[in-house]
Amino acid sequence: MNSILDIEKRIESLQETDKKSYNLLKQIYRFDFGMGEQVIPDSFKTKVLNYFGHRDDTGKVIDSAEEVLDRIQEQKIIKINNKWTGEGTLFNSIRAERPGIREKDKDKEKKHIFKLIEESGKECDFCHPEKYTPEDVFGRIRGKHSITAANLAKYDVWSSLVIFKNHNPLKFSLEEFSDYLETGFTWFQSVNMHSPQFRFPFFIWNCLPRAGASQIHGHCQILMSKEPYAKVEILQKASQEYGIETGDDYFQDLYAVHRLLGLSGSQGDVRFFASITPVKEKEVVIISSKNPSTDTDAKKTIFRILRCFIDLMGVYSFNLSISCPPIDDGTPYPYLIRIVDRGSLMKSTADIGGMELYGSSVVADDPYKIIAMLKSVF
C-alpha cells in the first residue's frame, strides 16, 4: 500500500522523470526529511513493546521486541510546509504505521455514541426549535428537513444555526443533507438582502461535542461577515499572490500536485484530495467552482465523503467548513470545503495541543490510507 513515508521516493522519481511536475510540487511545498534517534533503557523495553507493538484482532502483540525497538529508536520524521499559506504538518513514521481501528473498537465506539445521542434527546431544545430557540429579525428559513434559528450566544453580528429535524446528527440521507445546505445558503441571501454590507458567507458543521458542538442534536453554524474571516482571508490572499507571481491558478495547481502524488479524486467538475498539510487527522479538501447548495456534483461529493467518514472510517465527530466567494461578486475564488476528523469521544485526551495552536500540526493518519477509502465510494 502507498504511504506518506514513501513521499521522498516519489519526489525523487519526479525530479528524475518529470521536471515540470517536480517544479510545480516545489513551487508550492517545502519538504524536509530527517531521522529522530533515541536510546531505550532495558528497564523500559517491556513497556515500549506494550505501547507500540502491532496487535492482532484479539489484542495480542504480534511484533518481536527487536522489531518494535528498531522502529522506536529510529523514527522517520517528514515535515511539509505550504510556502504560500504557512500551513505545515509533521508526520512521524511511528504514528503513520499504526494499524487501523479494530472492528471491536469500532463497535464499542458506535454503541457509546448512539447511546449518548439517544439519551440527549430526552430534554433537547433543538427538537422543538420554534419553542426553544430565538429567531432572526427577518424570521426563520424553513426547509423540508431543517429550520434556522438565531444563535443565542453569537459568534458574530450575523450568526445563526441550521437545525436538523432529525435529532441524530449522524443519520442523514443525500436529500436531507442537500436540504441543510439549501436552507443555510437561503439564509445567506436573506442576510445580504437585509444588510447588503454583509457579503461573505461561512458555513460550519461541528458534529458532536468533541468537534465543539454544545448540543448533540444535528445542527450547523451559518455566518455572514463584511470581510472574510482571518483564515479564509489568508487563503484568498495566498491564491492572489500566487497568481500574480506565477501567472497560474493556485487552487488548480494545489489539486494538480495532489493528483501527481496519487492523493486526489473527482466527481464531475468537483475535485477533492487528502491533504499533505492537514490541519489535523484525515483532512480532506474539496474544491468546487459552483455553489454546493445548488450543484448536484458538489452535494454528492460532500455527502459521499461524509458518509465514508462515518460509515467506513468510523469518524463520528468532525468539523466541516465551507468558505465562499462574496455574494454578487465576480471573484473567481472557488467554494472550498474542508472536512477533518476530531477523534474519538471515548478518549479523555484532547486532539490538539500547543504544537497545533502555536507550532505545526502533528498528524498520525496517513493521507494515502484516507484517499484509498474515499476512492472506494466514488
Q: Which of 288, 323, 289 is nearest to 302 (CA)?
A: 288
Q: What would the grid cell of residue 211 be? A: 468537534
Q: Distance of CA 340 to CAs 163, 252, 283, Å?
A: 21, 21, 4
From the CA atom positions of the chain, what is the Rg in Å?
Answer: 22
DSSP state of 309: I
Q: What would the grid cell of residue 195 be? A: 444588510
Residue 50: Cβ-neighbour burial (10 angstroms; 0-12, 13-18, 19+): exposed
Whole-number pLDDT of residue 223: 98
Residues 6+ apart with CB under 8 A from 311: none
Rounded CA gap, 158 and 227, in Å? 12
In three-state form (DSSP H/G/I as H, E/B as E, the rest C), the secondary structure along 152-199 is: CCCCCCEEEEEEECCCCCCCCCHHHHHHHHHHHHHHHHHHHHHCCCCC
Cell 513515508 appears where? 5
Rounded CA gap, 68 and 53, in Å? 6
Q: Do residues 282 and 343 make contact, with C-beta atoms less than 8 angstroms apart?
A: no
DSSP strands (E only) in 173-283:
200-206, 219-225, 264-267, 270-274
Q: What is the CATH T-level fold of the domain 106-375, as seen in this structure? A: HIT family, subunit A (3.30.428)
Backbone angles phi, psi at 323, to 5 degrees: -95, 140
Rounded CA gap, 96 and 69, in Å? 16
Q: Which of 238, 250, 335 is nearest to 287 (CA)?
A: 335
Helix (H, G, I), strand (E, B) or coil at 123: coil
Helical (H) or strand (E) element with 120: helix 103-120
Strands 219-225 and 335-341: unpaired
Rounded CA gap, 144 and 147, in Å? 8
pTM: 0.95
Q: Could you give the angle at the alpha carbon of 231 between the alpha carbons of 310 and 274, nearest 5°?
A: 35
Q: Do residues 154 and 136 make contact, with C-beta atoms less than 8 angstroms apart?
A: no
Helix (H, G, I), strand (E, B) or coil at 202: strand
Domain chopping of the chain, boundaries: 4-12+29-99, 106-375
Q: Which of 277, 286, 251 is nearest to 374 (CA)?
A: 286
Rounded CA gap, 283 and 206, in Å? 14
The tens place of each residue's pLDDT in the chain, 378 residues long, gives 799 999 999 999 999 999 999 999 999 999 999 999 999 999 999 888 888 887 777 778 888 888 889 889 999 999 999 999 999 999 997 875 655 556 667 788 889 999 999 999 999 999 999 999 999 999 999 999 999 999 999 999 999 999 999 999 999 999 999 999 999 999 999 999 999 999 999 999 999 999 999 999 999 999 999 999 999 999 999 999 999 999 999 999 999 999 999 999 999 999 999 999 999 999 999 999 999 999 999 999 999 999 999 999 999 999 999 999 999 877 789 999 999 999 998 888 899 999 999 999 999 999 999 999 999 999
CB atoms within 10 A of CB 209: 15
Q: Distance of CA 257 to CAs 32, 308, 318, 375, Å?
A: 17, 23, 25, 17
- Model pLDDT for residues 333-356, shown as the tens digit of each residue: 999 999 999 999 888 889 999 999
Beta bridge partners, 61, equal 55
Q: Which of 316, 312, 305 is nearest to 339 (CA)?
A: 305
Q: Could you give the angle at the alpha carbon of 355 between the alpha carbons of 349 and 356, nearest 5°?
A: 75
